[in-house]
Structure 1
Amino acid sequence: METGQHIGIQQSAVRLSDCIQLMQADLVHANPTPENLGHPVSDVLMYDPLDHWSSVDDRIILAVGCTYGSPDFDQLLHRAANSNAAAVIVKAHGAKMEHLRSAAVGYSMSVLVAPDDADWTRLVALARASVMGAATDSVAGVRLGDLYAFANAAASITNGAASIVDPLGRILGYSTLPGQPIDELRRITTLTLEETTPPAFDQDFKIVYAAPGAVLVPAIDDGMARLALAVRAGGELLGSIWIIDPGDENRAAALNALDRMAPLAGLHMLHARSASDFGERRNADLIRTLMDDTPHAAFAAAQLGLDTANGLAVAAFSIVRPETGSLESVRDIHRLLHLVTTVCNVQFGTGHSALLGSVVYALLPGGKGSSPRAVHGRIIQEIEAYSHTISPFPVIATVGGIAQGIEDLPRSRSEAVQILNHLLNLQSRAGKTRGAGNAGNPPKVALYEEFQIPLNLLKIGAFIEENGLGGTDEIARIQARDAEQQTDYLETLRAYLASNGNISAMAAQLHVHNNTVRYRVTRLAEDFNLDLADPQKRLWLWLRLTTMDLAAK
């Protein structure tokens, strides 16, 4: 946007065509005419056939649950037409457009047809915000949903640097007009794209949210004062706008401009959220198809514009939290998604990442160099190193093997998830043992090949478990004896196998005398009829113990 461009907010009559344009909700007008499109609009109404209508003049009516051909549908059009409603929004649900058009013409009523999968709650919010936004007119040169351009417009109108913040504290847009003063807090938040204190714990945000309009927030310490406004649509809090105080001479005009800007700000934030949500959902759906739906994977790869010439590897990221499902955990995992996307964009010039369940996935190019795995390792180390900026809890980052073709991506994902779960398990076990004085520090990042042996052993352990191969073998009997008589035969056997039968090494490991070790080994062999000289027996016992230890939680 040119800094010299005139930007203003003007009042104008609200017409149905204005609202349709601002909603941008894929509505199809069944019977557009100059008279219909010019009909004034004052409000939005959810239709209930049992409600008494006092007045619906100039309202847009959303016909939830009404289908073409039903008595409720005919009654709705009749009542709407007789009450001078502006329009009715319906879903076709299989009805032909010519039938809907015929009904609309018959009642001389504007009928807008929404997609069958459209969300009524979102349509209500968009419609109400559009009515209010149309009354204010659009800010010149700003595309709906472009919050950076809108922040520039707000900064120009109010003469103060602007930031737009969502309820979680994420910076959705900020102004970049030259010459406007800013302080250190503004500098930090625009660099990190988040508030230093979450709004839920910030008293200034609480004051702004509770205020009926724009308010002055006094300066703290060496910072600058702010003008702030809570932005809502249909009663839902969408976020807030913060303006660096332009000073005594301009403050009153800026506060008034902010108040008048509120409806349009809500409309922009709704569209930005819808576009962001759609982009994230589309990305997630395509990446899920790549990894779970092989027959359609090639289509998904084409939609994402993937370069598969040098192969791809799937990276997986998770946050080690004691609880999930809280607002903080949801906030943290979305911050992790943003961090992964940003780092991948910087490294590769593009970022294909998605949040699936509680895991963030990213597609890493194989690269043309001789050491793509070194690049992959550096990327996940960088993300883990930055993770303290998005969550106080540790982040685990792993990468599966390189898939040479699209059809191999499920394998790469499986490998990434296997190593992710293994490192999460190691973190959990370390957390428990630290309380007992153990300072274990398991790794937080890994490539699949770095842990391929323990992962293969885990698969062997799972095979043994699933097929009942352990049964009542020596390990099971030793465990039962130890539990019953408080003995330590299993610990002795583990030390024997780990030291390959070296008595001195066992004594050092168990912190006992050599003779005590010899006695314990003799009792172990006799009590359980173990031939420890048999290499196959030793292999089986070692496999059982190793896989059990790896799987322990």
Structure 2
Amino acid sequence: MQAGLVHANPTPENLGHPVSDVLMYDPLDSWSNVDDRIILAVACAYGSPDFDQLLHRAANSNAAAVVLKARGTRMEQLRIEAARHSLSILVAPEDADWTRLATLARASVMGAAVDSVSGVRLGDLYAFANAAASITDGAASIVDPLGRIVGYSTLPGQPIDELRRVTTLTLQEIIQPAFDEDFKRVYSAPGSVLVAAEGEGMGRLALAVRAGGELLGSIWIIDPGEGKREAALEALDRMAPLAGLHMLHARSASDFGERRNADLVRTLLDDAEHAAFAAAQLGLDAANGLAVAAFSIIQPEATSVESVREIHRLLQLVTTVCNVQYTTSRSALIGSIVYALLPSQGPAARTVHGRIIHEIQAYSHTITPYPLIAAAGGIAPRIEDLSRSRSEAIQTLHHLAGLQASGRDAPKAALFEEYRIPLNLLKVGEFIEDSELAGTDDISRIAAHDAMHQTDYLDTLRAYLASNGTISAMATQLHVHNNTVRYRVSRLMEEFKLDLTDPHKRLWLWLRLTTMDLGATKPAEPGPALIGRIHDVN
């Protein structure tokens, strides 16, 4: 099950006990047949009356095992209880989710019983779709409740229509199942149904797939025609239990894989001491260095169900595009930011990195109506340097989001080096502010004077520094006459006693104005979906 369970008493008899099913135990329920079954002891603590009663009942009913959480109980105590009752006791991690454990256990148990019969590796939805297409003689697609295509057939010679072609390319239904009348009809039907063709499209045979009352998704088969339709519908109905098993196992495996990937990627980015081990576990090609790419959807509300779905669709999109380019790329969702580790292959590695993030940004309209911001940090030559690449990616991401928020015409995807100078200047500005170097310097005094007297000395100084003191260039920039510019400059120098011929003074004034202007492009509060949190990795 790959669930981190510890066996308290792994004797040959216990390990050899057959298993037929998995039960969630509630001490208030009437006792049912538990012969050869695994019992999940939810909320049963060692030493409690419920715990003692459970072990007694399980041992007398030939249960296969009891799974519980130690809750501080020493393993030796549990081992004594297991031996006293001649019963297998498995200890789950304290943070284990009981529902997920039940899913993993049931998928493992059912898989052992039917996998050899099905002829398809358990959880391989693409192979299962091919099997379904072969049996029904129609191209098959498997769709999860969110409308994602999680498996489709590839048998040659089977006709498809434009809808099938589009959804296979995008791995997403055009209309979400929650708003599609055909899906609603399929979900409410007790078995497989015929969905009539519309326009130039083809008809479908469809079946809702459930396990224990939970909707796992649906199977859609291109209608093979009137002569084969009834046999195909009957075959679909017979497939229902096996389809549920495959989808349940695929979902569990995907969930475990996502969590493991996220944990390993987080180790790579945050824990330099164990980064090499994590890279080996992920099978990364780090010979020529790696770059970290970051992707974020700028949403007004990042905690709604729909926003969470969009973030997971983004993870799927990033994974798909990166896997097309690289065989060893890895993606993970950490917080609400999707990260991708991009290998650096060949002299044009950065060109490829730029193309990938722009490509993902261009596809983003298929998963969300909100803007997607994408950025790639610099190439980290060593695994231990990946945290720097991540920091660069997040800084660039934040800067692009600020430019978008300020209404500027800026790209939504960029490499770090494209904004290296403004990002470094922003760091200088933060250093000036954090170190309180500005105090009440000239810029502060001029800004205060402008605010109080409705003057524009700061704009005049900004134009002076930008044009290197050229009066005609300043006049063009400020849209005033040359003489007006000369008057404003002289008043500026007299009012604030500025010596603009001093190069050190000009450098300081330019730094202060430039860093202030760049800082003004930063959103006052980063959008919810940009929370990583950004300052955690700067």
TM-score (norm 2): 0.85
Query: How is 1:264-279 mapped onto 2 (pairs within 5 angstroms)?
Result: 264-279=242-257
Q: Is the 8 A contact 1:216 1:228 kept in 2?
A: yes
Which of the numbers 208, 220, 236 marks the counterpart of 1:258?
A: 236
Question: Which ranges of structure 1 fall in alignment gaps of 5 or more residues?
Answer: 1-22, 431-439
Query: How is 1:182-193 mapped onto 2 (pairs within 5 angstroms)?
Result: 182-193=160-171
**Which residue of structure 2 lines up, in the alignment, with residue 494 of structure 1?**
462
Shift of 1:460: 0.6
Q: Distance in 2 between matches of 1:459 and 1:40?
A: 62
Measured at CA, do residues 461 and 137 of structure 1 come closer, stay the same or move farther in structure 2, by a change above 3 Å?
A: closer
Shift of 1:165: 0.8
Shift of 1:129: 6.5
**Which residue of structure 2 lines up, in the alignment, with residue 341 of structure 1?**
319
**Which residue of structure 1 lines up, in the alignment, with residue 399 of structure 2?**
422
Q: Is the 8 A contact 1:31 1:105 kept in 2?
A: no
Q: Is the 8 A contact 1:60 1:89 kept in 2?
A: yes
Shift of 1:208: 2.2
Q: Is the 8 A contact 1:214 1:255 kept in 2?
A: yes
Pair 1:156-2:156 in alignment: no
Q: Distance in 1 between matches of 2:107 and 2:237?
A: 14
Pair 1:229-2:207 in alignment: yes
Q: Which secondary structure state, in structure 1, belongs to the residue aligned with residue 296 of structure 2?
A: strand
Q: Distance in 2 between matches of 1:128 and 1:376?
A: 42
Q: Which secondary structure state, in structure 2, belongs to the residue aligned with residue 325 of structure 1?
A: coil
Question: Which ranges of structure 2 fall in alignment gaps of 5 or more residues?
Answer: 522-538
Which of the numbers 511, 516, 526 marks the counterpart of 2:479?
A: 511
Q: Distance in 1 between matches of 2:402 and 2:53?
A: 62
Q: Which secondary structure state, in structure 1, belongs to the residue aligned with residue 118 of structure 2?
A: coil
Q: Distance in 2 between matches of 1:175 and 1:230?
A: 18
Shift of 1:311: 2.1
Shift of 1:188: 1.8
Query: How is 1:173-212 mapped onto 2 (pairs within 5 angstroms)?
Result: 173-212=151-190
- Using the aligned pairs only, state the percent identity: 73
Which of the numbers 304, 307, 310 marks the counterpart of 1:326?
A: 304
**Which residue of structure 2 lines up, in the alignment, with residue 409 of structure 1?**
386
TM-score (norm 1): 0.83
Q: Which secondary structure state, in structure 2, belongs to the residue aligned with residue 458 of structure 1?
A: helix
Shift of 1:458: 0.5
Q: Distance in 1 between matches of 2:19 and 2:482?
A: 98
**Which residue of structure 1 lines up, in the alignment, with residue 448 of structure 2?**
480
Measured at CA, do residues 330 and 239 of structure 1 come closer, stay the same or move farther in structure 2, by a change above 3 Å?
A: same
Q: Which secondary structure state, in structure 1, belongs to the residue aligned with residue 406 of structure 2?
A: helix
Q: Distance in 1 between matches of 2:229 and 2:361?
A: 44
Q: Distance in 2 between matches of 1:372 and 1:137?
A: 43
Measured at CA, do residues 292 and 133 of structure 1 come closer, stay the same or move farther in structure 2, by a change above 3 Å?
A: closer
Shift of 1:115: 5.8
**Letter of the aligned partner of 2:479 in structure 1?**
H
Shift of 1:130: 7.3
Shift of 1:85: 6.7
Q: Is the 8 A contact 1:314 1:400 kept in 2?
A: yes
Shift of 1:330: 2.8
Measured at CA, do residues 136 and 223 of structure 1 come closer, stay the same or move farther in structure 2, by a change above 3 Å?
A: farther
**Letter of the aligned partner of 1:77 in structure 2?**
L
Q: Which secondary structure state, in structure 2, belongs to the residue aligned with residue 321 of structure 1?
A: coil
**Letter of the aligned partner of 1:463 in structure 2?**
F
Pair 1:523-2:491 in alignment: yes
Q: Is the 8 A contact 2:404 2:410 kept in 1?
A: yes
Shift of 1:114: 5.1
Deviates more, 1:284-293 or 1:522-531: 522-531
Total equivalences in the alignment? 517
**Letter of the aligned partner of 1:416 in structure 2?**
A
Q: Distance in 1 between matches of 2:414 and 2:209?
A: 43
Shift of 1:294: 0.9
Pair 1:379-2:356 in alignment: yes
Shift of 1:185: 1.1
For residues 406-427 of structure 1, what are the alpha-carbon distances to aligned partners after superposition, in whole Å with 9 as ceiling and x for unaligned?
A: 2222222222222221112111
**Which residue of structure 1 lines up, in the alignment, with residue 518 of structure 2?**
550
**Which residue of structure 2 lines up, in the alignment, with residue 242 of structure 1?**
220
Deviates more, 1:333-342 or 1:286-295: 333-342
Q: Distance in 1 between matches of 2:88 and 2:337?
A: 46
Q: Distance in 1 between matches of 2:240 and 2:109?
A: 12
**Letter of the aligned partner of 1:293 in structure 2?**
D
Measured at CA, do residues 132 and 227 of structure 1 come closer, stay the same or move farther in structure 2, by a change above 3 Å?
A: farther
Shift of 1:171: 0.8
Q: Distance in 2 between matches of 1:332 and 1:549?
A: 33
**Which residue of structure 2 lines up, in the alignment, with residue 16 of structure 1?**
none
Pair 1:213-2:191 in alignment: yes
**Which residue of structure 2 lines up, in the alignment, with residue 5 of structure 1?**
none
Q: Is the 8 A contact 2:115 2:121 kept in 1?
A: no
Q: Distance in 2 between matches of 1:57 and 1:305?
A: 42
Which of the numbers 282, 294, 313 marks the counterpart of 1:304?
A: 282
**Letter of the aligned partner of 2:364 in structure 1?**
S
Measured at CA, do residues 287 and 55 of structure 1 come closer, stay the same or move farther in structure 2, by a change above 3 Å?
A: closer
Measured at CA, do residues 406 and 149 of structure 1 come closer, stay the same or move farther in structure 2, by a change above 3 Å?
A: same
Q: Distance in 1 between matches of 2:373 and 2:452?
A: 39
Shift of 1:473: 1.9
Q: Is the 8 A contact 1:397 1:444 kept in 2?
A: yes
Shift of 1:463: 0.4
Q: Give me the CA root mean square deviation.
A: 3.3
Measured at CA, do residues 253 and 400 of structure 1 come closer, stay the same or move farther in structure 2, by a change above 3 Å?
A: same
Measured at CA, do residues 32 and 221 of structure 1 come closer, stay the same or move farther in structure 2, by a change above 3 Å?
A: farther
Pair 1:533-2:501 in alignment: yes
Measured at CA, do residues 139 and 253 of structure 1 come closer, stay the same or move farther in structure 2, by a change above 3 Å?
A: farther
**Letter of the aligned partner of 2:515 in structure 1?**
T
Q: Which secondary structure state, in structure 2, belongs to the residue aligned with residue 384 of structure 1?
A: helix
**Letter of the aligned partner of 1:402 in structure 2?**
I
Q: Distance in 2 between matches of 1:544 and 1:143?
A: 64
Q: Distance in 2 between matches of 1:478 and 1:292?
A: 43
**Letter of the aligned partner of 1:316 in structure 2?**
A
Q: Distance in 1 between matches of 2:509 and 2:221?
A: 69
Pair 1:450-2:427 in alignment: no
Q: Is the 8 A contact 2:298 2:373 kept in 1?
A: yes
Q: Is the 8 A contact 2:191 2:207 kept in 1?
A: yes
For residues 375-395 of structure 1, what are the alpha-carbon distances to aligned partners after superposition, in whole Å with 9 as ceiling and x for unaligned?
A: 333333333333344434443
**Letter of the aligned partner of 2:187 in structure 1?**
Y
Pair 1:462-2:439 in alignment: no
Shift of 1:246: 3.2
For residues 88-119 of structure 1, what are the alpha-carbon distances to aligned partners after superposition, in whole Å with 9 as ceiling and x for unaligned?
A: 43136387889767756755666566566542
Q: Which secondary structure state, in structure 1, belongs to the residue aligned with residue 42 of structure 2?
A: coil
Q: Distance in 1 between matches of 2:75 and 2:206?
A: 46
Q: Is the 8 A contact 2:115 2:122 kept in 1?
A: no
Q: Which secondary structure state, in structure 2, belongs to the residue aligned with residue 525 of structure 1?
A: helix
Pair 1:362-2:335 in alignment: no
Shift of 1:457: 0.7
Query: How is 1:50-89 mapped onto 2 (pairs within 5 angstroms)?
Result: 51-53=28-30, 55-56=32-33, 58=35, 60-67=38-45, 70-81=48-59, 84=61, 86-89=63-66
Q: Which secondary structure state, in structure 1, belongs to the residue aligned with residue 475 of structure 2?
A: helix
Q: Is the 8 A contact 2:403 2:410 kept in 1?
A: yes
Q: Distance in 2 between matches of 1:135 and 1:211?
A: 28
**Which residue of structure 1 lines up, in the alignment, with residue 533 of structure 2?**
none
